[in-house]
């Protein structure tokens, strides 16, 4: 089948890891008889350098052209170290999420047997961890208005706001995922303090009552930050608002031992974007040492979530797992071993070998 994929390599190691994910997609098209058409666009610091805008209009149009978007990373230290920078690469990411309506951010966390000892947690806590964070991505305190500073500069404010409809649409997504998984949803909120959290709890609890086939619990975000380290295995689908989801998904990402393995999806009504969660890792830029697996696994999510191609997605996941088992890994997992492109080649070869 013919599919169009918008490619946004972005900044830092983005271009290197995206290149390896395209190798994997090409191997899939060969093995399964599909055809992918790729078109590349600028985003983040790379886009600011050329156009002055981290999410230019041409990139937005490219995103709408694609059946799906494969994204690398955003961010450049030259902006992080400049508190007066008016335009920042991260604004491109937020503008893109908002303009494309990508309201559901899906971040799966799964332990790999060959990496159990890479985790900072004890093996018996990590073994068998398999959950997914479903984070609301285009509302809450990230986008609420008013936001800013008073004229004298001594008073700053952000607004956290949610509507029942915004909560309901992401709740539906979370329960849908739970249905195909271990059938449990945990809502994380701060309903003992925040009005928005109380609305979340009201809307989600009501929905849960109508879906008794799914086990439902809610938990305060501060307590959950603790449980996630003590007993991560008890989670299946974690549902939460934008900023709590940002924080808890970083915590979740260390459980399995390496950030280099975690993919993500950001899904809206009319667009879907897939990216590794590790960010731009500027220290490794251009060195051919970054782990491409998270981006390759993001390509697997792309095939499954956008096209429903489960067999193709599993073929990529199995190819990654085989590389892990054979020790064909980058230096974040095993020092002095294989380069980014060697790992990508090995995974593409595994896909073709079936
Ligand atoms: C993430 C990142 C972004 C966020 C930043 C880069 C704006 O931390 O995707 O989790 O806060 O959402
Ligand atoms: Mg984050």
Q: What CATH number is given to the structural domain containing 168?
A: 3.40.718.10
Report pLDDT digits (tens) over 144-189: 999 999 999 999 999 999 999 999 999 999 999 999 999 999 999 9
Q: What is the mean pLDDT of residues 190-194?
A: 98
46 and 166 belong to one structural domain:
no
- The angle at the Cα of 334, spanning 332 to 337, to the nearest 5 degrees, equals 105
Residue at a domain's end among 221, 253, 285: 253
Identify the domain boundary among 227, 253, 279: 253
- 2 and 109 both lie in a single domain: yes
Tokens of 277: 């969660």
280 and 179 co-located in one domain? no
345 part of the active site:
no
Q: Please tell me whether residues 127 and 244 are part of one structural domain.
A: yes
pLDDT at 83 over 80: no
pLDDT above 80 (res 81)? no
* Total domains, the chain: 2
- Concerning whether 246 is annotated as a catalytic residue, the answer is yes
Q: Hey, what's the torsion of the CAs at 184, 177, 311, 300, to 10 degrees?
A: -110
Pocket test of ligand 1: the residue of 44, 77, 246, 275 to mutate, having most ligand atoms within 8 Å of its CB, is 246
Instruction: Tell me how far the alpha carbon of residue 246 lies from the centroid of ligand 1, in angstroms.
Output: 6
For 165, counting Cβ atoms within 10 Å of its Cβ (0-12 exposed, 13-18 middle, 19+ buried), the class is exposed
Examine the residue annotation and report whether 222 is marked as an active-site residue of this protein.
yes
Residues 95 and 70 in one domain: yes
Q: Are residues 112 and 261 in the same domain?
A: yes
Catalytic residue among 67, 130, 158, 246: 246
Q: Is cis: bond before 79, omega within 30 of 0?
A: no
**Residues 202 and 284 grouped into a single domain:** no
Work out whether strand 272-276 and strand 263-267 pair parallel, antiparallel, or are unpaired: antiparallel
Residue 138, domain extent: 120-253
Co-location of 330 and 228 in the same domain: no
Indicate which ligand has the atom closest to the C-alpha of 107: 1
130 counts as catalytic: no
Question: Does the pLDDT value for residue 96 go beyond 90?
Answer: yes
CA of 259 to the centre of ligand 1 (A): 14
**Secondary structure class of 72 (helix, strand, coil):** strand
Q: Which phi and psi (to 5°) does residue 19 adopt?
A: -55, -40
For residues 268 and 235, state if they share a domain: no
Q: Please report the beta strands in 11-143, taking only residues with DSSP state E, as ranges in sequence order.
A: 35-40, 68-73, 104-110, 130-136
Q: Which ligand does the CA of 75 lie closest to?
A: 1
pLDDT digits (tens, 9 = 90+) for 34-78: 999 999 999 999 999 999 999 999 999 999 999 999 999 999 998
Domain boundary among the residues 194, 229, 253 is at 253
67 included as an active-site residue: no
If asked whether residues 135 and 12 sit together in one domain, one would say no
Based on the domain organization, do 171 and 158 belong to the same domain?
yes
Q: Are residues 25 and 92 in the same domain?
A: yes
Residue closest by Cα to atom 2 of ligand 1: 246
Cα–Cα distance list, 210 to 71, 182, 269 (Å): 36, 18, 23
* Per-residue exposure over 317-346, b if at least 16 CB sit within 10 Å of its own CB, e if not: bebbbbbbeeebbbbbbeeeebbbebbbbb
């Amino acid at each position: 089948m013919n599919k169009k994929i918008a490619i946004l390599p972005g900044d830092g190691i983005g271009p290197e890891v995206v290149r390896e994910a395209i190798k994997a997609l090409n191997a899939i098209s060969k093995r399964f008889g599909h055809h992918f058409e790729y078109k590349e666009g600028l985003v983040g610091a790379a886009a600011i350098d050329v156009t002055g805008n981290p999410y230019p209009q041409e990139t937005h149009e490219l995103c709408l052209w694609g059946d799906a978007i494969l994204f690398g990373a955003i961010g450049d230290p030259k902006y992080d170290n400049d508190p007066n920078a008016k335009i920042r690469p991260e604004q491109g990411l937020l503008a893109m999420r908002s303009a494309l309506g990508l309201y559901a951010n899906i971040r799966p966390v799964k332990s790999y047997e060959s990496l159990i000892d890479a985790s900072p947690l004890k093996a018996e806590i990590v073994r068998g961890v398999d959950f997914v964070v479903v984070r609301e991505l285009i509302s809450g305190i990230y986008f609420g208005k008013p936001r800013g500073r008073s004229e004298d500069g001594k008073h700053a404010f952000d607004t956290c706001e949610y509507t029942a409809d915004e909560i309901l649409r992401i709740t539906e997504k979370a329960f849908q995922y739970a249905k195909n998984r271990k059938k449990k949803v945990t809502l994380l909120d701060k309903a003992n303090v925040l009005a928005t959290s109380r609305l979340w709890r009201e809307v989600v609890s009501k929905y849960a009552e109508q879906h008794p086939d799914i086990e439902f619990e809610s938990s305060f975000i501060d307590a959950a930050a603790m449980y996630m380290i003590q007993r991560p295995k008890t989670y299946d689908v974690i549902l939460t608002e934008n900023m709590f989801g940002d924080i808890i998904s970083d915590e979740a990402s260390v459980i399995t031992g390496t950030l280099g393995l975690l993919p993500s999806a950001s899904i809206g009504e009319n667009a879907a974007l897939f990216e590794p969660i590790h960010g731009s890792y500027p220290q490794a830029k251009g060195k051919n040492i970054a782990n491409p697996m998270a981006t390759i696994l993001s390509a697997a999510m792309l095939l499954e979530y956008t096209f429903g191609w489960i067999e193709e997605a599993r073929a990529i996941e199995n190819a990654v797992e085989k590389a892990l088992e054979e020790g064909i890994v980058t230096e974040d997992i095993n020092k002095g071993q294989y380069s980014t492109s060697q790992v990508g080649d090995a995974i593409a070869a595994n896909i073709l070998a079936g």
